[in-house]
Structure 1
């Protein structure tokens, strides 16, 4: 009856344990995310001494954003997995309790009496054969349950441990954003190609009642000429970590259709130049909030609208990946981050960036330039 007693111990563990999981993919993902946040902290430590502080701090902010996104996803999947196992165990609690009662009775009954059968030696033999067949199957089931409980325990411990890495990560990314804003403001080495006079820009703003008229005037005044026939930019990365909310020309909730796309982003997400480009304009524009207009090639404009903060100066030529602004919103504290990651609810990407691409006077679908996927 040693096998029966081992099974009994396993079943007792099932009924007594508070819930848990063995190392599964969600746990591994969350651990990797915590490590990436620590790596981002190392980048932040070295950024102040870097030759190009703007580039180093941009890489640091991006690393923090990626680490926090991965941690959020890992914790969410870990929570879903834990709840699924807990529901399964709860659904089987009565069954397991009955089985435990049977096993307790078996354990308390002397082995000699347990194998005796009222019908005599043949019945006793059959009973022994049945017990020998059932016990391994029950043992296997108990091992599965034990693994599930260990998995739940691992995930719960992981969520507790993530709080420390998360607090450091949220503080670190804020420090990196502040340092980046300062480094951009202090930058003096960028070349300048075109700089419209303040009076010309002011006049253009005052006389433009649409983004279309403003962009057309800006392209005309830039002195770069129309786009070359047949010229096409290579596929470019998105300027911000986000997901497609509205496609080109789609109507929004207010019934307005615009010749651009809208990306949903997280608060304070970093916006970067997808390609080397000249800054033709940066600042508020009509009802678009803060806008930055880039010219990556003659006659081709990229308009990014809805930023809370814009970087750079008109006429600067910024390299690909250079920071051009930050999205709005407020950074969550650790408690709010964990609650959103584990409980869900609400939008984790409440900010929106509007992107418009123009070739001369004509808006074109940004999907032809960027890889746009709905999440």
Structure 2
């Protein structure tokens, strides 16, 4: 279950002996309500005082790390909202890109057609101009030509005079089409640039957000792992307290269960198997957990499913053998992938970390497809 603030567990170390002998009167922790089994030496008292001070300091550190991780989780949520907004606008960007792409294809075809026609015109024009240039460069000498050839020269001169305007007209058309071709190529280049910008702008923003979210997620995990390490240290200190006070260790799990599983999260019972909750029979175990609490594998097994499930949020289904499966919901993040083999105690994910209030983690133990009492596989005596 969720351990109560360690500040209460280790408060007033100077009055430790009185607390042990007479109890706190609050019933907060059994450790302090039980009588001392052996007298405390001065060295033991000093060590207990040191442990109490460390527990209080650890409580503050752990809370600070959880608060920092919670702020990062909220920032990640804002980044996720920005990604959703970008995804909404991406449709419009893709439409623009499709228009640019279609226009570019049209311009490319037009350029190819214009290039072909210009090539044909240039060839004809070149042949005609070459012939005329040869004729004008080597005209027949009029003094030696016959009358027939003189007439031909006159006719050629008349034809040349008549064709010159047409040649100029064709040259003007050729020049205009050449300018059109240059314009089309320039427009095609602009459309190509617009297409590139349209396609790369959105992807660049999305890439930056994904990188930023990955960095934030890594930082959140680091803070929560540090908080977990502090919690593990606190458990060691509490065990040492019990030893110094001569108190018995916590009860061991009873034997004879069908499976030897550990609870995936540290939490407080919020609903037992078979209870009626909101008019429906509870088919599993509901636990009230701290925000950002680590979810560990209850036993050795294979991940059958891991990810979002409509109406249930993030879900992990673990096959632990013997036709038993464990269904876990109420996760904020999942670390594992389907078909992966996990060991007992291996991290599977974390509960949501967007609030400072306790969250609800739900777990079902199933035999085949039918939910069974979790007590047949888990030690529920501490809840």
Larger radius of gyration: 2
TM-score, scaled relative to structure 1: 0.38
